[in-house]
Structure 1
Amino acid sequence: MSTEKIVAETRTEFGKGAARRIRREDKVPAVLYGHGNDPIHVTLPGHDTMMAIKHGGANALLELEIEGKSQLALTKQVQVDPVRRTLEHVDFVVVKRGEKVTVDVPIVLLGEAAKETLVVTDATTIQLEAEATHIPESIEVDITGAEAGTQFLAGSLPLPSGSTLLTDPETLVVNVTQQQSAEALEAELEEAEADAGIEKEEHTPTEEEAAAAESDGGDSE
């Protein structure tokens, strides 16, 4: 995992008003927690921080320069504006090189399963313990040619060297099932409606539909 270097400014102003002023300057308010120290409130350059988090993924590791000192920080929570898609706030956990951390790592599927199958991702992430500077960006699951009935459990996934699985090894991650035909889906829907006491109403053609049908019949003669 690569480490992005960013210069951070300490801040003493807090609250919604201060946060709005920071964002108007294209910067991002952030907080660092951990190692028994008091929280460190900083301001980060908006664009650089956004790119670093995009590049690093869900567990982006940043090297923050705070008042001339370097500090490794692991991204834990990111707030994004739902409309403008800009960073609103970032929470970091202070880490050290060689330190083991617990992280949730995304699952990524590779390849395509066999024809007429349906691939269901039951777990989008698995929890690992890994060295802070060697956190995998994702765990790849190769489903190429997988037949219906194939299941991928957490314990069977290939993990990077130095990573330890914390998720229950029996956790179902990916399930490959038989794809249902349109007829089978329709039958299931009708059965569910019948169980719920829903009766389908017979469609009575309108005058316009009846006239159109007669017109179509006349054109075909």
Structure 2
Amino acid sequence: MEHLPLTAWPRTTGHKGAINKDRADGFVPGILLGHHEPAITFKVRSGDLTRVLRKGGQNALVDLDLEGSSTLAIVREFKRDPRSRHIIHLDLQRVSADEAIEAEIPLTLKGKPEGLQMGGVLMQEINAVHVKGIADQLPTHIEVDVSHLSAGHGVYVKDLLIPEGITVLTPPDQMVALVAVKHGKEATEEEAEVETEETEAEASE
């Protein structure tokens, strides 16, 4: 996994007014934890953090530059404002490049399932898997090919193509995605709508 540079500045703790001012000025407050070292509070520019997450994903590995001192860390959590969806807080965890750590890796569905042509509906059951691996080897995401799925069939965690050296901790029989088959009232109502549209079209001719 690429180490992404992220510049940080010290910030004042314990003062809500100062934190709100930092946010208003375009900064995101954060905290650096781990390795049995003292917690360090900091702030980063919102735009810089957005670029890091866009490139490295929700588990981005960053080289945090704070007052000339560089620390390798992984994004552990970030919180968003429920209304604006802007990131309002960042948690980083110190790591070593060759250290085995646990992380949530996002799943990205790829392809158009065959079952959609038979009236099926693609449903994603989980959005990420819990894994353990060397920090430098963690993928930013895992692609899940669903193009071969017919109606009523799904793909499970045990079916995923996992990079070498990564151990999946999510149960292997956990469903990832399924092409569900419509039954009963829902399917009947859709068929009725199609028939009505066809009848109206014929009447207008």
TM-score band, normalised by the shorter chain? 0.7 to 0.9
Q: Which amino acid aligns with 1:173?
A: V
Query: Which residue matches 1:47?
Result: 47
Query: Which residue matches 1:149?
Result: 152
The secondary structure found in structure 2 opposite 1:59 is: coil
In structure 2, distance between residues paired with 1:2 and 1:185: 51
State TM-score, norm by structure 1.
0.77
The 5-angstrom pairing of residues 93-104 of structure 1 reads 93-104=93-104
The secondary structure found in structure 2 opposite 1:23 is: helix
Give % identity.
30
Equivalences, count: 187
Structure-2 change in CA distance of 1:4 and 1:180 (3 Å): same
In structure 2, distance between residues paired with 1:25 and 1:145: 49
Query: Which residue matches 2:196?
Result: none
1:182 positional shift? 6.3
Query: Which residue matches 1:66?
Result: 66
1:4 positional shift? 1.5
In structure 2, distance between residues paired with 1:98 and 1:185: 57
In structure 2, distance between residues paired with 1:175 and 1:70: 44
The 5-angstrom pairing of residues 117-128 of structure 1 reads 117-128=120-131
Structure-2 change in CA distance of 1:40 and 1:179 (3 Å): same
Query: Which residue matches 2:192?
Result: none
The 5-angstrom pairing of residues 49-198 of structure 1 reads 49-114=49-114, 115-116=117-118, 117-180=120-183, 184-186=187-189
Q: Which amino acid aligns with 2:127?
A: T
The secondary structure found in structure 1 opposite 2:138 is: coil
Q: Which amino acid aligns with 1:174?
A: A
In structure 2, distance between residues paired with 1:127 and 1:165: 6
CA RMSD across the alignment:
2.1
Q: Which residues of structure 2 form unaligned runs of 5+? A: 190-205
1:11 positional shift? 2.6
The secondary structure found in structure 2 opposite 1:96 is: coil
Query: Which residue matches 2:36?
Result: 36
Q: Which amino acid aligns with 1:73?
A: A
- The 8 Å contact of residues 31 and 91 in structure 2, kept in 1 or not, is answered as yes
In structure 2, distance between residues paired with 1:185 and 1:60: 47
Q: Which amino acid aligns with 1:78?
A: F
Q: Which amino acid aligns with 1:175?
A: L
Structure-2 change in CA distance of 1:182 and 1:99 (3 Å): same
Query: Which residue matches 2:23?
Result: 23
